[in-house]
Amino acid sequence: GEDVEQSLFLSVREGDSSVINCTYTDSSSTYLYWYKQEPGAGLQLLTYIFSNMDMKQDQRLTVLLNKKDKHLSLRIADTQTGDSAIYFCAELYNQGGKLIFGQGTELSVKP
Amino acid sequence: DAGVTQSPTHLIKTRGQQVTLRCSPKSGHDTVSWYQQALGQGPQFIFQYYEEEERQRGNFPDRFSGHQFPNYSSELNVNALLLGDSALYLCASSLTGSYTFGSGTRLTVV
């Protein structure tokens, strides 16, 4: 089946770490993605990970992939108020062509 | 280097009308996909074009059609608009697993 699930809301204090979690269903997914969407805007690609990797780090962002549990997470270190947005997890379904998105996690960063 | 460009940014149409949305892919990308994002939801796949052919299609009716031109740019056409077609329409271009999205076209059907 095609299903990507995320929790809907996360609230953190400025300077703390944020962890956004996602589960997916297609065990043959080759790539998994994290996108950021600010109000009224399109999707900004934050990072993506190939399915043969367990971890990817890019400045303040760390992606962890657990293929056995089909679980993906995004950690944002030293979260800033500018990180407030909706974060979408997506998998590249069935060997390509179609991205399946979760419903998005709204991250609220309080000063 | 320009990313993915979509036009127009906003559009208001009446029920029953037809609309055409346009997308220019990121330089070097040869594949274009279209997504519909309803308010408060994640994007839903409409279809994908590669080498001017529709390669894959999501669960959208035939009222939704598209085209890809030799320069890789693409159009999305929606006929007989319904109120439920009101959404943000996103275009993504891709090359080897990297998918870049445009800022979208906000379509309102009244």
pLDDT digits (tens, 9 = 90+) for B75-105: 999 999 999 999 999 999 998 888 999 999 9
Contact state of B101 with A97 under an 8 Å Cβ cutoff: no
* Residue that is written with structure tokens 């319904």 in the block: B82
Question: Which residue of B lies nearest to A89 if distances are taken between CA atoms?
Answer: B42
Long-range contacts of residues B59-68, Cβ cutoff 8 Å, at least 24 apart: B60/B36, B66/B34, B68/B32
B10 within 8 A of B104, measured Cβ to Cβ: no
Interface test with A, best of B31, B41, B45, B60 (most A CBs within 10 A): B45
The Cα-based distances of A35 to A4, A17, A69, B66 in angstroms read 14, 18, 21, 25
With contacts defined as CB-CB under 8 Å, which chain B residues touch A99? 33, 35, 43, 45, 92, 99
Contact state of B90 with A104 under an 8 Å Cβ cutoff: no
* Residue that is written with structure tokens 């001017």 in the block: B52
Tokens of B16: 């029953």
Question: Which residue of A lies nearest to B48 if distances are taken between CA atoms?
Answer: A97
Could you tell me if A46 lies within 8 Å of chain B, comparing CB atoms?
A: no
User: Strand pairing of B87-95 and B74-78?
Assistant: unpaired
* Residue that is written with structure tokens 């953190």 in the block: A12
With contacts defined as CB-CB under 8 Å, which chain B residues touch A100? 45
Q: How many CB atoms lie within 10 A of CB B38?
A: 13
How far apart (Å, rounded) are the C-alpha atoms in residues B93 and B95? 7
Per-residue model confidence (pLDDT) at position A96 = 63
How far apart (Å, rounded) are the C-alpha atoms in residues A34 and A85? 12
Could you tell me if A103 lies within 8 Å of chain B, comparing CB atoms?
A: yes
Question: What is the rounded average pLDDT of the residues B53-75?
Answer: 95
How far apart (Å, rounded) are the C-alpha atoms in residues B32 and B68? 8
Stretch among A26-30, B35-39, B46-50, B53-57 having the lowest mean pLDDT: A26-30
Contact state of B48 with A41 under an 8 Å Cβ cutoff: no
